[in-house]
Structure 1
Amino acid sequence: MGHLVAEPAGEVAGWGCCGPYRDEGTTTADGEADALYVRPDRIGTGMGRALLDALTARAESDGRPALLLWVLWENRRACRFPERAGFLADGAEEPFEVDGVAVPETRYRRRLSAAEAAADSRG
């Protein structure tokens, strides 16, 4: 698993990690961005995008054909973030519960290798 920390001027302002896709019962070589957090005062500064780009590069260098991430579906701002980075919602949804409240997530995917992208275009 790869962990990355954003530290402008020696101050931790963001953190992200990625590794193999962790869905039980699913066999895939894809990677997953398990976490991506930026301090609220740093949102909109490009720090989150830099972290996501670095996680994507790490997954690609690990030989992953795609990188997946889960986003809270009702948080439209959070959904636009991976969309701007070339991720597409792939139709997978997952119930997620926080303190007894259902918070559904949707999965986003971005192909990382030219061979995988070509396979997608052939259908």
Structure 2
Amino acid sequence: MDLRVREMTEADLDDVAEIRVRGWQFAYRGLMPQSYLDAMSPEADAAARRKRWADPRPGAVGLVAEREGRVIGFAAFGPTRDEDLAAGAHEVYALYVHPDGIGTGAGRALMDESLDRCRTAGVELVVLWVLIGNHRARRFYERAGFGPDGTSTAYDVDGVAVPEVRYARRLGGPPAGDTAPRGSMRT
């Protein structure tokens, strides 16, 4: 079964929304309020994606992984949203594979293509945010060369603080780490 990674198109938004919702419901069970996860809907997510598609973040890139013509994963990356990092740093905003496609290489292919594109663009530092309790994702990112940089925060999901940590990777240089002061918080 051939796996293909390509740029996301507007026609992919319904598939991407389905993957994100199912991905959250699978990966974040026990890490976020179940009522929040249960209330998520691919239709609402797709509607929000269409609005963002009409007014994209400058420099953002969306990719999809497809197998046999079916989109099974997606990634999005671009300039970091974190103000404490040097100009030019990039961020992996999202990387999700449908739960049925976990372990098929789709996530690795999406990460590799995202990092290759960043490297080609001259990006030296790539970061991402991961829930502290999401051990599967943390292992995945660590195998891809990322590591915690000492920056963490929490955000509110239906009145519950959900802690996350920033991971970083230097491209073409030594492993990332300590790219931000210890204890700094994401804004």
TM-score range (shorter-chain normalised) is 0.7 to 0.9
Which of residues 131, 134, 140 is equivalent to 1:81? Answer: 140
Structure 1: where are the runs of 5+ without partners?
Answer: none
Which of residues 111, 120, 124 is equivalent to 1:65? Answer: 124
Which of residues 78, 102, 112 is equivalent to 2:161? Answer: 102
Runs of 4 or more, structure 1, over 3 Å off, are: 24-27
Contact 1:60 1:66 in 2 (8 A): no
Could you state the TM-score of these two structures normalised by the residue count of structure 2?
0.59
Which protein is bigger by CA-based radius of gyration? 2
Determine the C-alpha separation between the residues in 2 that align with 1:62 and 1:32: 13
Structure 2: where are the runs of 5+ without partners?
Answer: 1-59, 178-187
Count of equivalent residues: 117
Determine the C-alpha separation between the residues in 2 that align with 1:6 and 1:69: 19
Measured after TM superposition, the shift of residue 113 of structure 1 is: 2.6
For 2:105, give the aligned amino acid.
G
Between the aligned residues of both structures, percent identity stands at 50
Q: 1:42 to 1:9 in 2, by over 3 A?
A: same
What secondary structure sits across from 2:123 in the alignment?
coil
Structure 2 partner of 1:28? 87
Higher strand share: 1
Could you state the TM-score of these two structures normalised by the residue count of structure 1?
0.87
Measured after TM superposition, the shift of residue 25 of structure 1 is: 5.8
